[in-house]
Amino acid sequence: MRIILADDSQYIRTAYKRVLETQSHFEVVGVAEDGEEAVQKAKELQPDVAVLDVRMPKLNGIDAAHQIAAFNPDVGIVVISAYDDMEFVRELFKGNPRGKAYLLKTSLDDIGELIRVVEAVANGGTVLDSTLVQQLVRVHLSRDNSFLQQFTETEREIWEFVAGGYDNSETAAILGQPESQVAEIARNVIDALGISNPNEVDIRSQAVAHFVNANAEVPYIVDT
| 119, 146: one domain | no
Determine the structural domain holding residue 72 and report its residue range: 2-131
CA distance 214 to 196: 17
Enter the pTM of the model: 0.88
User: Which of 10-14, 20-24, 115-119, 215-219 is the least confident region?
Assistant: 215-219
Point out which residues pair with 3 in neighbouring strands: 28, 49
Q: What is the pLDDT of residue 215?
A: 57
| 61, 43: one domain | yes
> Last residue of a domain, which of 96, 131, 166?
131
DSSP 165-195: T--HHHHHHHHT--HHHHHHHHHHHHHTTT-
> Last residue of a domain, which of 86, 114, 131?
131
> Last residue of a domain, which of 131, 162, 181?
131
Residue 220: is its pLDDT beyond 70? no
